[in-house]
């Protein structure tokens, strides 16, 4: 299986937490909406099998205070999205600056 991520999809750990945090918008950025689990999964190139692990990890990260969880109800649908509370590491800021 070919993966577009730089990390090993078989191991969910601290590396994936930083990968998730690097794609989430900051909570202070009011121009961008948060990302939900399918958007995070697609951005990281994860398989459908990782969906449950991703949801559990996002809930855990929200409990630890790394991300903020937003829950919006539209009719009978419930949409959950996440935004990051921590700033990016220097190398991730540099990488985004180079990519434009």
Segments making up each domain of the chain, as ranges: 14-99
pLDDT given for residue 96 in this prediction? 63
Residues of the chain with pLDDT under 50: 1-7
- Using CA atoms, how far apart are residues 13 and 51, in angstroms rounded to an integer? 15
pLDDT given for residue 4 in this prediction? 47
Q: How far is CA 97 from CA 39, 46, 64, 65, 92, in A?
A: 23, 25, 29, 27, 8
Give tens-digit pLDDT for 13-40: 567 788 888 889 888 888 888 999 999 9
- SS3 label, residue 71: strand
pLDDT given for residue 81 in this prediction? 93
Instruction: Domain 14-99: give its CATH architecture.
Output: Orthogonal Bundle (1.10)
- Tokens 């539209």 correspond to 74
């Amino acid at each position: 299986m070919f993966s577009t991520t730089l990390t090993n999809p078989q191991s969910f750990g601290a590396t994936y937490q930083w990968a998730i945090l690097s794609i989430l918008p900051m909570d202070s950025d009011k121009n961008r909406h948060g990302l939900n689990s399918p958007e995070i999964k697609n951005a990281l190139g994860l398989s459908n099998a990782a969906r449950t692990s991703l949801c559990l990890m996002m809930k855990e990260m929200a409990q630890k205070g790394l991300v903020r969880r937003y829950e919006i109800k539209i009719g009978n649908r419930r949409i959950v999205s996440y935004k990051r509370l921590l700033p990016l590491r220097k190398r991730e800021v540099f990488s985004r600056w180079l990519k434009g």
